[in-house]
Amino acid sequence: MKGILGMLRPKAKAEPDEDRLDSVLFTTAFAGQGVDADLLVPWEARAAEVGATRLSPNRGTMLLQALWGKDKFMRHLDNHAISRLERFFDFATVSANRDIIRQDEYGNFMVVVLSGTVAVDRLQPWGERLRLAEAAPGEILGEMSLLDSGMRFSICTTLTDCEIAILSAQAMDEMLTADPALAANLVALLARKLSLRLRVVSARLSEHK
């Protein structure tokens, strides 16, 4: 456990400001929806469960800059903006065949795939495990629950050893307090990407009815 705790991101420090109101929008969202705190699965718990190891923030940021620079949505965050994101992200390496997100759980973090491939599956009511996608480097997973405080929609399983970046609800609130413009831009871009993915998934599920 000591090794896992050593990989956790220290709390970001905002510039002192007597008039600043610290954000709790994301950290209180699940409670606002009536979700008991004991039901939440934070990244710290999942990291220990899957045996995640710490990835250098410098390498994580470099990969994020290269990948998002090619994404038609996320490229609106330039390299300087992504460098500012580094203080709010955790970076980790996860071995193959590990569930980093599980369907129907409450999780207050999202994941960016930096290297490797992650399967995105939906367990159907009749027991079939439907493959919705295979997430490649640069793709984002779990942002829906982070934004709307709902249950996870799918199971996300590493198909290979993967390097990932993790953004938690606590870190989002820290960002809203310390760098609100950056946080607003990130949330807007996540919403656009999420909307597009939901349309694709909806069409895929319709084909299997």
**198: which residues sit within 8 A by CB, 6+ positions away?**
144
Predicted confidence at residue 8, as pLDDT, reads 56
Q: Tens of pLDDT along 117-169? A: 999 999 898 888 899 999 999 999 999 888 888 899 999 999 999 999 999 99
Rounded to 5 degrees, what are φ and ψ at 134? -125, 110
Closest CA to 205 of 101, 146, 87, 123: 123
Q: What angle do CA 198, 159, 85 make, to 5 degrees?
A: 60
Paired tokens of 112: 């960016």
pTM for the whole structure: 0.85
CA distances from 191 to 81, 140, 143, 144 (A): 18, 11, 9, 8
H runs (alpha helix) in the chain: 2-5, 29-32, 43-50, 57-68, 79-85, 143-148, 169-178, 180-207
List, as one string, the DSSP characters of 72-103: TTGGGS-HHHHHHHGGG-EEEEE-SS-EEE-T
pLDDT for residue 3 is more than 50: no
91 touches 57 (CB < 8 A): yes
For 65-116, how does the pLDDT look when each residue is reduced to its tens digit (9 = 90+)?
A: 999 999 989 999 999 999 999 999 999 999 999 999 999 999 999 999 999 9
Q: Where are the domains of the chain?
A: 23-207
- Give the span between the Cα atoms of 200 and 205, in whole angstroms: 9
CATH class of the region 23-207: mainly beta
